[in-house]
Amino acid sequence: MDMDSSQKKDENELRRWVSNLQLESWQLELLITGFSIFLLATSLSEYDSFQSSFVFNKLSGQNDNAIFAISLRLIIATVPLALRFFLISLLIHLLLRGFWIGIVGLSSVSNKIDFDQIKLQKPFNKFIPANVRTLDELILFVDKLSSVIFAYTYLVAFSLLSVVIVAAFLFSVFGLSILVSGAIGGSIGVIISFIIVLSCFVLALGALVFFIDTLFFSFLKRSKTFAVLLYPIYRFYSIISISFLYRSIYYHLITNFKKKQIALVSLGLFAVFLLVNRVSNTDQHTFYPESKQELSSLILNTHYDNQRGDVFIRTASIPSKFVKGRFLELFIRYDPDINPVLAMICPDAENLELDESLIKSFNAGMESQLDTTKTLKELIYPIEKYKQNVQEGLNCISQAYEIFIDGEQIDEVELLYTRHQNKAERGFLVILDVNDLPVGRHEVEVKNLERQNPNAFLEAKFDDYKMETLVTIQFWKE
């Protein structure tokens, strides 16, 4: 009996603590909302930098698994949209909470509305008193609406995270089929790849059913026909999508609020998001070509070291638009997308690194003891042989590039390995002699081997590649 009374006492204390926490939750909401808005506002620019760096350094040269690279790019590109939606929702919540605090302050002064004093005439004398809430009713309504939007914002954020995680999972499975097809080859590789693709299709269909059921308030779970079929799908994707983290919020909302109310809040937030996004993307410069292609009539500051700013070199770069001396430094970025063709024409130029491993040192020590004509340093660091291999590899790589000035091809192009001082981009340095060029405008064009009509499931051949323009850069000889 004492244990029962003690348990009831603990339950009552817990209930009082939760009730007090609920009454004071608006303070936590405002604190978290303000902190989240600050983080989101500052993280958008930081994420842009991270995104450009990640795509530049990690997703280049994925020709051997293009589906994986493209899919990952799409997933990364959706994160800023989610951040903006999250930011807009929290701003709306902050405005509502500010409005709510104002109403609470006003109610402390006066809590009644005297419609008789206004002396309304028909039909307003019936419509307005019947449809205008009292301050107490408005306080409760706005408080409820603010709390729902606050919880709903985090529900949407976790839901978007679930979609991204599931998409990454499916794309990884699909990308695995390409890796298997390329690694095994032959009919066995094709069969295994087909089985993986078929499995990926089934998984994608299950994910679609899972998210449709979630979006439409678990209507499939209420069906006797589909509930049994949905159960294993639900259990699997509950783990993959980490939906167990926000499941309580989801079921609380769909069981305590009308579907119409949830739909209206969702549509309202989505409409505000679309409006803000539309306004931010409005472009009044309709006669200015924002082309991403290389055009002779379009000057891109990213091609000039003294005007680039804090961005990566994507293709090539020269020091300035204006050339004073005899020589022009041309930096051509080493893009890993060219790796497949280099592997075909220059296999000996790959992995040219001095082996400084413990095993290599041990073997060199043993060999130096057996052959006294060779020193330990020569065996571990065969520098002359290494220099020769690097030079031969570089001479071979030069076959993948062609350089033109004003349409005339440079016959003998000498490439040099270098890292640019901009962001340590790997690439090749070419010194061009422009002494004989007349004063005025000129154009340097760089071409490289590019694959025509790439197919991720077919092995590339050298005949699939041909020279295409990589970049054109304008400069003026002084």
The answer, as to whether pTM is greater than 0.85, is: no
Structure tokens at 323: 């050339």
Question: Residue 36 has what pLDDT?
Answer: 74
328 forms bridges with which residues in the sheet? 432
Q: Which of 113-122, 205-214, 430-439 has the lowest mean pLDDT?
A: 113-122
Question: Residue 9 has what pLDDT?
Answer: 58
Question: Residue 362 has what pLDDT?
Answer: 47
The C-alpha atoms of residue 336 and residue 340 are separated, in whole angstroms, by 9
Q: Look at 199 and 36; give whichever has higher pLDDT.
A: 199
At residue 160's C-alpha, the angle toward residues 96 and 80, to 5°, is 80
Question: Residue 372 has what pLDDT?
Answer: 54
| Average of per-residue pLDDT values in the chain | 77
Do 327 and 340 meet the contact criterion of CB atoms below 8 Å apart? Answer: no
Binned at pLDDT 50, 70 and 90, residue 330 comes out as very high
**In the predicted structure, residue 1 carries a pLDDT above the cut 50:** no
**In the predicted structure, residue 7 carries a pLDDT above the cut 70:** no
The arithmetic mean of pLDDT across residues 60-80, rounded, is 63
Question: Residue 329 has what pLDDT?
Answer: 92
Question: Residue 359 has what pLDDT?
Answer: 47
Q: Look at 227 and 350; give whichever has higher pLDDT.
A: 227
The arithmetic mean of pLDDT across residues 100-125, rounded, is 77
Binned at pLDDT 50, 70 and 90, residue 215 comes out as confident
Question: Residue 220 has what pLDDT?
Answer: 86
For residue range 369-379, list pLDDT tens digits in order: 555 555 555 55
Residue-wise DSSP of 188-222: HHHHHHHHHHHHHHHHHHHHHHHHHHHHTTTTTTT
Binned at pLDDT 50, 70 and 90, residue 59 comes out as low
**In the predicted structure, residue 254 carries a pLDDT above the cut 70:** yes
Helix, strand, or coil (residue 321):
coil
Question: Residue 476 has what pLDDT?
Answer: 92
Q: Which residues contact 426 (CB under 8 A, 6 or more apart)?
A: 333, 334, 417, 419
**In the predicted structure, residue 237 carries a pLDDT above the cut 50:** yes
Determine what percent of the chain is predicted with pLDDT higher than 90: 7
Q: Which of 46-60, 223-237, 399-413 has the lowest mean pLDDT?
A: 46-60
**In the predicted structure, residue 331 carries a pLDDT above the cut 90:** yes
Binned at pLDDT 50, 70 and 90, residue 13 comes out as low
Range with the largest mean pLDDT of 60-74, 104-118, 242-256: 242-256
The C-alpha atoms of residue 343 and residue 355 are separated, in whole angstroms, by 21
**In the predicted structure, residue 53 carries a pLDDT above the cut 80:** no
Under DSSP, the state recorded for 458 is S
Binned at pLDDT 50, 70 and 90, residue 351 comes out as confident
The C-alpha atoms of residue 323 and residue 477 are separated, in whole angstroms, by 5
The C-alpha atoms of residue 69 and residue 56 are separated, in whole angstroms, by 11
Residue-wise DSSP of 267-315: HHHHHHHHHHHHHHT----TTS----S--TT---GGGBTTT--SS--SS
**In the predicted structure, residue 24 carries a pLDDT above the cut 70:** no
Binned at pLDDT 50, 70 and 90, residue 322 comes out as very high
For residue range 263-288, list pLDDT tens digits in order: 887 788 778 777 877 777 777 776 77
**In the predicted structure, residue 4 carries a pLDDT above the cut 70:** no
At residue 329's C-alpha, the angle toward residues 290 and 439, to 5°, is 80
The arithmetic mean of pLDDT across residues 81-102, rounded, is 81
CA 402 to chain centroid: 33
Q: Which residues of 156-185 are buried (b: 16+ CB within 10 A; e: fewer)?
A: bbbbbbbbbbbbbbbbebbbbbbbbbbeee
**In the predicted structure, residue 435 carries a pLDDT above the cut 50:** yes
Domain residue ranges in the chain: 9-280, 301-477
Binned at pLDDT 50, 70 and 90, residue 155 comes out as confident
Binned at pLDDT 50, 70 and 90, residue 358 comes out as very low
Burial class (CB in 10 A: 0-12, 13-18, 19+), 461: exposed
